[in-house]
């Protein structure tokens, strides 16, 4: 999260369609010129920094940008004499939509987009420079559902960019020993027995792979547990449609396991977390898998506790050097929206 004392000095402007997310509805139909002390376009065809620059936005899209860009007659001019204009940022890992609340270890039918408030006011996150986010269905079960990608601004009907972005798979001790799966009959009836609680995988590192393979096999074969669940058909449909696999893992062994799983099944996917990614950076690089790196500690801000290790931020910067050649995105730590 960007420190509060900096937010007022950064104006959010996306360099493509996300411009519409940050301009008022009326302004999207007119010509607007934004003049700022500094512009960081983040575009290979433009300088890294443009001082005393102008951005001309017409019909919600950028028409011109530069220090010598002409302001069309009649354009509405927005002045930021001490401000910096940056592109809209994308948070590649958030729990903004909330995690699924069921007990199922395999819950492919849960869609994170269903918990997203399309009418919500996300001004605080937008003020930090974030226009779009990935919605995670959670990291507390082996397969928590389907993630989504959404915009945080603009009209409600245009906020969902990808309702089915990926299947989220989580690895590591945090998903071991899930609760017993109990399904009650509804409506309740004296002549319908309550099924016995069902134990679920995983309970170990090996069990997470056995549970995943077993769930995929049963889904593709059309097996239906008793009572009937929506998650099997949803998993079969997502697998047959080739939905990317999003592996959340921090331990080196789990990261390597995810790489082997994707190779074995010839699936598209990427990694999230990566606390020990520097230990297996060569394997990640050879597999050409993107990594959404999440720091192990929350971002520092004035007056906040930076963690138990005063050198933690410097240490993680050194980790990045070992990841040279890996397609990398930096996401907020777990539990932070932006």
Mind listing the pLDDT tens digit for each residue in 2-45?
333 334 334 444 443 334 444 555 554 589 999 999 999 988 88
Superfamily of domain 4-87: Urease, subunit C, domain 1 (2.30.40.10)
**Closest among 115, 161, 162 to 137, alpha carbons compared:** 115
Q: Which architecture does CATH list for 90-330?
A: Alpha-Beta Barrel (3.20)
| 3-state class percentages of the chain: helix first, strand second, coil last, to nearest 5 | 25, 25, 45
Question: What confidence category does residue 284 fall into, taking pLDDT thresholds of 50, 70 and 90?
Answer: very high
pLDDT band at 303 (very low <50, low <70, confident <90, very high): very low
Q: What whole-number distance in Å separates Cα of residue 34 and Cα of residue 44?
A: 21
Q: Whole-prediction pTM value? A: 0.81
H or E segment and range at residue 232: helix 231-240
Contact 282, 322 (CB under 8 A): no
What residues does CATH 3.20.20.140 cover in the chain? 90-330
């Amino acid at each position: 999260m960007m420190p509060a004392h900096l937010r007022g000095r950064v104006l959010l402007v996306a360099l493509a369609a996300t411009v519409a997310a940050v301009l008022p509805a009326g302004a999207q139909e007119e010509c607007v010129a934004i003049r700022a002390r500094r512009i960081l376009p983040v575009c290979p065809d433009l300088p890294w920094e443009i001082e005393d620059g102008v951005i001309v936005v017409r019909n919600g899209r950028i028409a011109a940008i530069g220090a010598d860009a002409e302001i069309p007659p009649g354009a509405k001019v927005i002045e930021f004499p001490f401000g910096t204009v940056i592109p809209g940022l994308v948070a590649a890992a958030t729990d903004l939509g909330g995690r699924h609340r069921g007990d199922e270890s395999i819950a492919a039918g849960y869609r994170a987009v269903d918990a997203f408030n399309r009418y919500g006011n996300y001004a605080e996150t937008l003020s930090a420079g974030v226009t779009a986010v990935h919605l995670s269905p959670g990291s507390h079960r082996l397969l928590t559902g389907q993630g989504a990608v959404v915009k945080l601004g603009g009209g409600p009907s245009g906020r969902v960019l990808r309702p089915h972005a990926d299947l989220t798979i989580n690895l590591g001790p945090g998903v071991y020993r899930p609760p017993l799966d109990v399904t009650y009959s509804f409506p309740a009836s004296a002549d319908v027995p309550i099924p016995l609680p069902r134990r679920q995988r995983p309970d170990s590192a090996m069990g997470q792979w056995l549970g995943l393979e077993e769930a995929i096999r049963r889904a593709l074969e059309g097996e239906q547990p008793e009572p009937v669940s929506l998650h099997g058909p949803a998993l079969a449909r997502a697998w047959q449609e080739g939905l990317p696999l999003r592996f959340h893992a921090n331990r080196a062994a789990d990261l390597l396991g995810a790489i082997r799983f994707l190779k074995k099944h010839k699936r598209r996917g990427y990694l999230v977390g990566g606390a020990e990614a520097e230990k297996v950076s060569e394997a990640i690089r050879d597999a050409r898998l993107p990594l959404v790196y999440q720091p192990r500690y929350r971002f520092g801000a004035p007056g906040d506790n930076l963690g138990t290790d005063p050198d933690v931020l410097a240490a993680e910067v050194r980790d990045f050097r070992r990841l040279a050649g890996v397609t990398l995105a930096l996401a907020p730590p777990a539990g932070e929206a932006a």
